[in-house]
Structure 1
């Protein structure tokens, strides 16, 4: 049973990671590194970098990482502003307060 759990975990881990070759060196990217680089590229409107970072991990993993980054950013801003995460999220999107 534990063998199956270990195999499933390894399969999931491998699905969330891909290897990018840079010259002779092979470098792996984790989903959070990919999400951070992808969001930064989007904020800078760097289409070449957006396409590069999108290939670092699976689309599902990138989506999860971007979502996690958004949640952490809203929480950090809410603490900094002493406001609720809902208020901060709505303000960032230009929505009226609920």
Structure 2
């Protein structure tokens, strides 16, 4: 009788583990996590990863995240180079200095 109870309870543990694994796979991605992964994939020219990250959040959220990442990157580079963010942004895009 106790063997049947143990087997029954063990069945719950197994299905709970499977459900938790499914939740981990389906969890919602943070828009900044999606933006970071998307930009990194673009930098590495990894089309499969680009396509996947584009599905993690809405296009609007991804656009916002990429924009925020770009702003933070330009600010960090400007501080590192001791230049204005405008000069750094223009330099990164290959534009002449204004």
Q: TM-score range by the shorter chain?
A: 0.7 to 0.9
Higher strand proportion, which one? 1
Query: Which structure's CA Rg is the greater one?
Result: 2
Q: TM (normalized to structure 1)?
A: 0.75
- Residues of 1 paired with 2:56 and 2:41: CA distance? 13
Once superposed, what is the RMSD of the aligned Cα atoms? 0.9
Aligned residues: 76
Please, which runs of 5 or more residues in structure 2 have no aligned partner?
Answer: 1-20
Please, which runs of 5 or more residues in structure 1 have no aligned partner?
Answer: 1-22
- Residues of 2 paired with 1:27 and 1:80: CA distance? 36
Show the counterpart of 1:57.
57
Moved over 4 A (4+): none
Partner SS for 2:28: strand
Q: TM (normalized to structure 2)?
A: 0.75
**Aligned positions of 1:35-74 closer than 5 A:** 35-74=35-74
